[in-house]
Amino acid sequence: MHPLRFHGRYPYSAITRRTDYAWPKSRRLAVYLGFNIEHFAFGAGLGACIGPKGHEPDVLNYSWRDYGNRVGVWRCLELFGQLGLKVGALINTALYDYCPEVIEACVKRGDELIGHGHTNSERQGEMNETQEKALLKYCRERIEKQSGQKAQGWLSPWISESFVTPDLLQETGYSYTLNWCHDDQPVEMNTRAGKIWAVPYPQELNDIPAIIHRQMSASAFADLIVDNFDEMLEQSRTQPLVMGIALHPYIVGQPHRLRHLRRALQHIVKEKRVWFTTPGAIANWVGESPISDTSFFS
């Protein structure tokens, strides 16, 4: 039998056989919130659904998602502020045309802005290389022009990649990707012109797979966050780990879910042994530290 096709981005590495290190102030567990703020085309394209997808215009599902930008995002930002948490704001650049005050609020809070496509109505993996590179370049330039931040990171809408996405990310100035969910530590990935970091991004601790696809209750999702945190805190006694929590304001910003999210986050912020941070700060730490060594991280 022939070997299976392999991506060549990183070799296998067992997490139990890696060099030890620590996060700032000797912390062992890094925790961040990946806050996905998205905008969708009306009457066309993709989008999560609370009910069966209807013919276009699909007013039910479009307006349910729009609740996130009109109401949910503000309730969530208020909660994050009460808890003293900065977030990694994963933004569609179409928000600059629709509700720029949402992004302005994140910038004012000191949140990190992360590229998340122009809209979640499309998948970049369906584009040709020229189109995909233009999208990555456009989003980074628009964020810098309108918000004054140079976006370091990228999360593809729907985690959609082509075979050259990591290469294009590195070539257009991004230093890390959140697309790959294969580890609990940052992993340095190979590209055709250099290296790029893969910062762990959750597909389990994520409200879309948990609540929309698995139909978990708000209470169960909050318990999932607490259980995951408590277990990773124990695991981090022996090695540094990253725990991301992926949230969407049109889901967790609904009042009945926000109440349970508050309970889960209050449990987490009480722990003083944790580095509450952003994905960009994690990428910077491993990139600038002497521990950034391909033999360890690959």
Say which CATH number the domain at 56 has.
3.20.20.370
* 18, two tokens: 């890696």
pLDDT tens for residues 214-268? 999 999 999 999 999 999 999 999 999 999 999 999 999 999 999 999 999 999 9
- Please say whether the beta carbons of 202 and 250 come within 8 A: no
**Three-state SS for 128?**
coil
Strand, helix or coil at 69? helix
> Residue 45 domain-assigned?
yes
Q: Answer whether residue 3 is part of any domain.
A: no
The reply to whether 23 falls in a domain is: no
Whether 298 maps to a domain, the answer reads no
- Quote the domain boundaries for residue 151: 28-289
Question: Bridge-partner residues for 2, per DSSP?
Answer: none
Query: Residue 270 above 70 pLDDT?
Result: yes
Total domains present in the chain: 1
Q: CA 267 to CA 142: how far, in whole Å?
A: 37
* Position 294 pLDDT exceeds 60: no
Give domain status of residue 91, yes or no.
yes
Name which residue leads in pLDDT, 61 or 298.
61
What's the pLDDT tens digit per position in 117-153?
999 999 999 999 999 999 999 999 999 999 999 999 9
Neighbours of 133 (CB within 10 A): 18
Residue 68 has pLDDT above 70, yes or no: yes
Q: What is the pLDDT of residue 296?
A: 37
Residue showing tokens 């918000």 = 147
